[in-house]
Chain A
Amino acid sequence: MDTVDLARWQFGITTVYHFLFVPVTIGLSVLVAILNTAWVRTGNPAYLRATKFWGTLFLINFAMGVVTGIVQEFQFGMNWSSYSRFVGDVFGAPLALEALLAFFLESTFLALWMFGWDRLPKLVHLACIWTVAIGSMVSAYFILAANSFMQWPVGVTVHRRAELADFGAVLTNKVLLATFPHTILGCWLAGGVILMAVSAWHLARKRDADVFRPSLRLGAVAVLVGAAGTLISGDVLGKIMTQTQPMKMAAAEALYDTRQPAPFSLFTIGTLDGTRPLFALEVPGLLSQLATGSFDGKVQGVNDVQREYQRRFGPGDYRPYIPLAYWSFRLMIGFGMLAGLVALVLLWLTRGGRLRGKGWIWRAAVWSVVLPFLAHSFGWVFTETARQPWIVFSRMKTVHGVSPSVGVGTVLTSLIVFTLLYGVLAVVEAGLMIKYGRMAPPSDDVTEPGEPSPAY
């Protein structure tokens, strides 16, 4: 392996890992804020207990999201200095805005919420958690603006480097406008699943139904909204992807030759090198619909796009690794929809104050906790690997982005260090989530704001 491969592995591992915590943070912050609001409005102590219970799980996650996020910012300079030199003028701005507009907000107001229960008036305290929720979405917007620029570089002129021409265009990139709702709704799905799965575990044991029944239903609604929303926004995104990165769409379907109409295959068994399908179960016309919005639209195949890219960008191989694109695309959709299905069943079983169901559905609900994480991970793997060989589509290839002064041994060292550290922390974090997920919700007492002895 050379530095490009190692740096890519490191980026992949650290990003997918970071994005296990981000969706939970974004999703749970909104759900905790909703429960906190319900308590402030109704005074029902069950909502306060729920707020505190989910707040604890939220905080365990938030810590991991924060610390793994710093790695993301630093490794652009450490591993990808040529990329950073090339795009810094455009790509740096959203990162800086993310820090200035969102991270300060999140960290400060989260601390106020976390430690301010008995120091702030109820409404101010409530506003703190909403500020955190909004801050985390602002943060997602800027980071996705940076990512969307890599997918579809608008608002720039390229001289020696990519230079900012129109920041408005960067912030209204059509890829961004579809990716942002797609990601946020996916985050609600992830946060919702946590509520759903943990509540199901307690309800199956008939514990604290006053806290966990509303939590389960709130979670299930979030999952349903998330699943439906990702499906719709994903459909929009697919059409934009077909216009902007036809190779990516072709790779997602492993469609080698242009077809009209094009079918969508539910699964395919292909040759080992992934260049030819052997058997496929297909839905006629569906890919045409996904890609173009019409059931008999024309979808370009890999081979044709490859020829076209060679004409536009010169000789070279412009094909991503197709089996990976094909399967990650399907698994992303499949796992997300499965979570939606579980939520639908649970909402049905718990409607009208009821709490029924066989053991298996509760078990399924508990295990559904892994679904959004699989969906998110495959989603990132798809969107980042199916863009290859480009690091910035049509502007810079990934092989030209690495740090020329950093050796293989150095990248390998950090890859090993991060993998080990992240592995250990994953075990610790999972252990804590399970421990605190199984605990009874805390009591409902909040002491009123008192007079502290001031230090200054």
Chain B
Amino acid sequence: MELTEVWFVAIAVLWLGYFVLEGFDFGVGMLLPVVAGNDAERRAMIETIEPVWDGNEVWLITAGAATFAAFPEWYASLFSAFYLPLLVILVTLIVRGVAFEFRGKRDSPTWRWRWDAGIVAGSFVPALLWGVAFANIVRGLRLDSRHEYVGTVADLLNPYALFGGLTTLALFATHGAVFLALKSTGEISRRAVAVAVRTGVVAAVLVVVFLAWTQLHGGSLATAVLAALAVVSFVLSLVAVGRGRQGWAFLLSAVAIGLTVISLFAVLHPDVLPSTIDPAYSLTVVNAAATPKTLGLMTWVAVIFLPLVLLYQGWTYWVFRHRIGAG
């Protein structure tokens, strides 16, 4: 396998890690006003993700930086093309991040209410916009011969991309509800199950349509199989959560999100950013890549350190494995 292919896979893995992990903490954040009935319950919900959300977000930072290093042209075209959506994502992620730390720092309901609103918005908006962004990546952008984006913001808000946004939104909300059902006790856990089933049905419909639609952008038998498996695991996850098998439910919804990400990247390959103006202007795994020297160096570092990261992040989940109640 060429190193460029290795790094295409590596980038996909980093985004997969990001969406599976931050996906559930976005979900918990979004569901704050839905599941919790009072401040103690909101507090307990936040406690379920507090020790892990920051580590989850590092997957995004690593995905961004690895794209910069392994595919500089991809990074440059993508980030300048998605300027305004990324600005919105950054602002909401900033507010959300400080909200986790700041909300408990003053004993005032207004203060807490404001930061909670920040957590909700900071979970809702990125969950939507990441879907919009990824659908646009798969669909392609108006790139000129220098790989510069010549479209407008309005071009990014096309029906397929917006549908992609709704899909990730619903998927993450369900993923979060499933996580919450697993990690909380009593009333919160019961309500989370009910929410997971309800949002799950909506998400299942969205994900079927979105993945089928995605196949039109260069799908193959393999990508169709991946998409079908994603849908199957997602439905099984809903069945499991309904039957009180919350560990399985969470595992399956994680698998479903993982397979969805893989199927999107599989449809995208060998492009990394197709041009809708002329296929000759598309960025591919080859013409967007860094030199073999840089890729080789990064491969060694990733091979040694990524397993280590998984190991100690896994340990965190083990240390904080207890269920949390509002008591």
Interface residues of A (CB under 8 A from B): 59-60, 62-64, 66-71, 73-74, 76-79, 81-82, 84-85, 87-93, 95-101, 103-105, 107-112, 114-116, 119-120, 161, 163-165, 167, 403-406, 410, 413-414, 417-418, 421, 425, 428-429, 432, 435-436, 452-456
Contacts and interface: CB of A to CB of B under 8 A. Distances in A.
Contacts of B94: 67-68, 70-71, 421, 425
A407 to B, nearest CB: 9
Contacts of A436: 105
Interface in B57-83: 57-58, 60-62, 64-73, 75-81, 83
B98 A92 contact: no
Interface of B: 50-52, 54-55, 57-58, 60-62, 64-73, 75-81, 83-84, 86-87, 90-91, 93-95, 97-98, 100-102, 105-106, 146, 148-150, 182-183, 185, 246-247, 290-291, 293-294, 297-298, 301-302, 305-306, 309, 312-313, 316, 319-323
A432 B102 contact: yes
B290 A89 contact: yes
Contacts of B105: 60, 432, 435-436
Q: Which 5 A-B pairs have the closest CB atoms?
A: A88-B72, A77-B79, A92-B69, A452-B322, A63-B101
A77 B55 contact: no
Nearest to B317: A456
Contacts of B102: 60, 63, 428, 432
8 contacts: A63-B97, A78-B86, A96-B70, A104-B309, A109-B312, A110-B54, A425-B98, A454-B322
Q: Which of B58, B66, B313 has the most CB of A within 10 A?
A: B58
Given A410-B83, A454-B321, A99 B58 contact: yes
Nearest to A73: B64
A89 B83 contact: no
Given A100-B301, A421-B94, A81 B79 contact: yes
State the main secondary structure of chain B at its contact with A. helix
B69 to A, nearest CB: 3
A410 B105 CA distance: 35
Contacts of A98: 65
A99 B66 contact: yes
A92 B80 contact: no
Given A71-B94, A107-B55, A406 B80 contact: yes
A405 B322 contact: no
Contacts of A406: 80, 83
Contacts of B247: 455-456
Contacts of A455: 182-183, 246-247, 321-323
A62 B91 CA distance: 17
B75 A77 contact: yes
B51 A96 contact: no
B79 A96 contact: no
Contact of A417 (B75, B91, B323): B91
B96 to A, nearest CB: 8
Nearest to A75: B79
Contacts of B313: 104, 108
B52 to A, nearest CB: 7
A92 B316 contact: no
B70 A73 contact: no
Contacts of B71: 88
A64 B54 CA distance: 12
A70 B93 contact: yes
Contacts of A116: 319
Given A96-B69, A405-B150, A456-B182, A77 B76 contact: yes
A405 B143 CA distance: 10
Contacts of A76: 68, 75, 79
Given A104-B62, A111-B52, A88 B73 contact: yes
Contacts of A89: 69, 72, 290-291, 294
Contacts of B57: 66, 70, 107
A116 B50 CA distance: 12
Contacts of A93: 69, 294, 297-298
A406 to B, nearest CB: 5
Contacts of A79: 80
A105 B72 CA distance: 25
Given A84-B75, A89-B290, A108-B55, A403 B80 contact: yes
Given A88-B72, A455-B183, A114 B51 contact: yes
A39 B319 CA distance: 23
A109 B81 CA distance: 35
Contacts of A115: 50-51, 320
B291 A163 contact: yes
Contacts of B76: 77, 81-82, 84-85, 88, 403
Contacts of A105: 312
Given A88-B73, A95-B69, 11 more contacts: A60-B101, A92-B67, A100-B302, A100-B306, A103-B62, A107-B54, A107-B55, A107-B58, A111-B316, A421-B94, A455-B247
A99 B62 contact: yes
B53 to A, nearest CB: 9
A103 B294 CA distance: 21
Contacts of B78: 77
Contact of B62 (A81, A85, A96, A456): A96
Q: Which of A87, A96, A114, A164 neighbours the largest number of chain B CB atoms within 10 Å of its CB? A: A96
B72 A84 contact: yes
A101 B58 CA distance: 11
A95 B72 contact: no
A104 B83 CA distance: 26
A95 B294 contact: no
Contact of B294 (A78, A92, A104, A428): A92
A90 to B, nearest CB: 7
A119 B319 contact: yes
A93 B94 CA distance: 25
A94 to B, nearest CB: 8
A64 B69 contact: no
A454 B50 CA distance: 17
A74 B86 contact: yes
Contacts of A453: 185, 322-323
Contacts of A112: 51, 316, 319
A59 B101 contact: yes
A32 to B, nearest CB: 16
Contacts of A95: 65, 68-69
Contact of B81 (A99, A107, A405): A405
Contacts of A96: 62, 65-66, 68-70, 298, 301
A419 to B, nearest CB: 12
B321 A452 contact: yes
Contacts of A432: 102, 105-106
A67 B320 contact: no
A406 B148 CA distance: 10
A74 B85 CA distance: 12
Contacts of B87: 78, 413-414, 417
B86 A63 contact: no
